Amino acid sequence: MVGPLPAVLWAEVMINVSIVEDDAMLRATLERYLATQPGFRCVSTYPNAEAALAGIPNVNPDVVLMDINLPGLNGIDCVARLRQQMPALKIIMLTVFEESEQVFKALSAGAFGYLVKSSRPAKILEAIREVRAGGSPMSGNIARKVVQSFQAQAAAQAATRAETDTLSARELEVLQALSKGHPYKQIAADLGISLGTVRTYIQRTYEKLHVHSHAEAVMKFARK
């Protein structure tokens, strides 16, 4: 497998970049900065997602710098639509938002990297190189949020597994039947037990899973 190119060779590789940013001053600043850097060329800029969707497929850049908070269609939806048209397109979100929810939405839509606008210009160039080489650059604080979110999800899943592991075989049978949408009478008939016994099993399941409803119990069972 071929690794990333040495830094001394990057000047020989021209990376074509498009910018989608509604702030005219920042858009112009980024365009001018890229024009002064060896190996980089800004091939197009756009003030909104609609213009980007119309123009980017025609210029076919290597990397797109994409803002999230755009007028009209937002940047995350723009990423999703561009990746549908151009599956190989590499997109870096360049935004003021650091919330985990926005990060995951952007990555799920098809973004390869996520930087805050306060990043140093050299960091933005490094991120463009990295994503062009197949990496996924992120600002340090955002990377920490991503790790923390994954850790929280893993802990929640582990807690759910621990809770469901306390259920008896019969309680699991009843819960599985509930997850399939079977009514209490059908569960009782299928398992050969009384309706009252079904309710007892369900109550015990609620207590062990620390839930208060049929829906909550089924959701925990589904996560397991």
pLDDT tens column, 11-31: 457 999 999 999 999 999 999
Q: So where are the chain's domains? A: 8-140, 155-223
Amino acid of residue 84: Q
How many CB atoms are closer than 10 A to CB 25?
8
Lowest model confidence (mean pLDDT) among 72-81, 116-125, 157-166: 157-166
| pLDDT of amino acid 3 | 47
User: In CATH terms, are 8-140 and 155-223 the same topology?
Assistant: no
- In this structure, whether the domain defined by 8-140 belongs to CATH 3.40.50.720 is answered with no
- Comparing 50 with 161, the larger pLDDT belongs to 50
- Comparing 207 with 215, the larger pLDDT belongs to 207
| pLDDT of amino acid 35 | 93
pLDDT tens column, 66-97: 999 999 999 999 999 999 999 999 999 998 87
| pLDDT of amino acid 145 | 60
- In this structure, whether the domain defined by 155-223 belongs to CATH 1.10.10.10 is answered with yes
H runs (alpha helix) in 72-165: 75-85, 100-109, 121-132, 140-164
